[in-house]
Amino acid sequence: IAGITQAPTSQILAAGRRMTLRCTQDMRHNAMYWYRQDLGLGLRLIHYSNTAGTTGKGEVPDGYSVSRANTDDFPLTLASAVPSQTSVYFCASSRRGDSRYGYTFGSGTRLTVV
C-alpha cells in the first residue's frame, strides 16, 4: 500500500543522546515535511524539503536537522535530545510540493526524552 512509513513507532531517549527518526515514502512525492504535535499547540512545522537535495526551516527548527539525499527518504535528527523535544513527530509528503493538494501523513513517532 502506497504511503509513508515512519520508524520507530515510539522511543524513550535519554537526554543528551542523538536520535534519528526515519521517514520513507513510496508515492514519488516531491515535497516532504516534519511536524511535531503537542497538546494544545496543534501541529508545528519543523523542517521541510520541496525536492531532493533541498531543505528549509519551518516554525520550530532549533535542535533538529534534516537531509534529503533522495526522493523517498527524509530523516529527522535530534543531535542532543532535551526533554522539551518530547512530542509526537509526524512526517508528511505532498505531490509537486504544492500544499493546495493537501498532505499525506505517516502514523507518527512518539518520542519521550527523559
Shorter beta-carbon distance to another protein: residue 18 or 48? 48
The answer to whether the CB of 29 falls within 8 A of the CB of 92 is: no
Q: C-beta of 100: minimal distance to another protein in Å?
A: 4
The contact mask relative to another protein for 64-83 (x = CB under 8 A, - = no) is --------------------
The interface region with another protein, picked from 16-24, 64-72, 79-87, 106-114 by CB under 8 A, is 106-114
Q: Residues 86-105, buried b or exposed e (16+ Cβ, 10 A)? A: bbbbbbbbbbebeeeeebbb
